[in-house]
Chains A and B, each alone.
Chain A
Amino acid sequence: KQEVTQIPAALSVPEGENLVLNCSFTDSAIYNLQWFRQDPGKGLTSLLLIQSSQREQTSGRLNASLDKSSGRSTLYIAASQPGDSATYLCAVKDTNAGKSTFGDGTTLTVKP
């Protein structure tokens, strides 16, 4: 059974800092990995999708990398801003079962 872990559960940084969020998964036979953002009281917003054949994806100040062999993905946020404060979740889609397994998220606070 696929398990997805995100450590730390919470992170607080000053504005302007570059930061890395981590996501690890136990079964490397994945189809793709997706990073989401969730604001308080809201649903999830898809940020980046990395296919299993890709090593990274970039969107603006966000860069996500994928290392299937080690079962890890990182989300890099450059020049963090208070508006980046949210919970960030990763989800892996299994090749075989085809379903997505979500991590519990890392809650990021960027202080002005």
Chain B
Amino acid sequence: NAGVTQTPKFQVLKTGQSMTLQCAQDMNHNSMYWYRQDPGMGLRLIYYSASEGTTDKGEVPNGYNVSRLNKREFSLRLESAAPSQTSVYFCASSELGGTGVGQPQHFGDGTRLSIL
């Protein structure tokens, strides 16, 4: 029972490089989310997808793009990485669908990203 799987677990980038963080869930959930976790700032929502085919901005979307490839997969892309994007990134999913922001229920183990 894998739940939410994120790849890679760790990554070091240089400023200006691009990369895509991958996320897949096997629970047939409608909604998926991308968060970043930084000390003193809690978890902040970057983007979410209420259902397959839809994506919406969260609290801190600047510098990121997302793709809901299918119901299982939701990827996060950094087009030109900046040191301020050094963080731990979490993908989450929930069975709640429809419009608006649902409620994350299941989280992946995170991707630890450092931008030099």
Residues on A lying within 8 angstroms of B by beta carbon are: 4, 32, 34, 41-46, 89, 91, 93, 97-105
CA distance A41 to B108 in the complex (A): 10
Interface footprint category on B = 20 to 34
Contact with A along B29-58 (1 / 0, CB 8 A): 000000000011111110000000000001
Residues of chain B lying within 8 A (CB to CB) of residue A32? 103
A-B contacts, CB under 8 A, total? 47
Q: Which residues on B are within 8 Å of A, measured CB to CB?
A: 4, 39-45, 58-59, 90, 92, 100-101, 103-110
Q: Complex: how many Å from CA A43 to CA B34? A: 12
Q: How far is the CB of A35 from the nearest CB of chain B, in Å? A: 13
A4, B101: Cβ atoms closer than 8 Å: no
Specify which of A4, A45, A93, A104 is in contact with B107 (CB 8 Å cutoff).
A45
Chain A residues with Cβ below 8 Å from B45 are 99-100
Interchain Cβ contacts under 8 Å between A and B, 15 examples? A4-B42, A43-B92, A43-B107, A43-B108, A43-B109, A44-B104, A46-B106, A91-B43, A99-B45, A99-B59, A100-B101, A100-B104, A102-B42, A102-B43, A104-B39
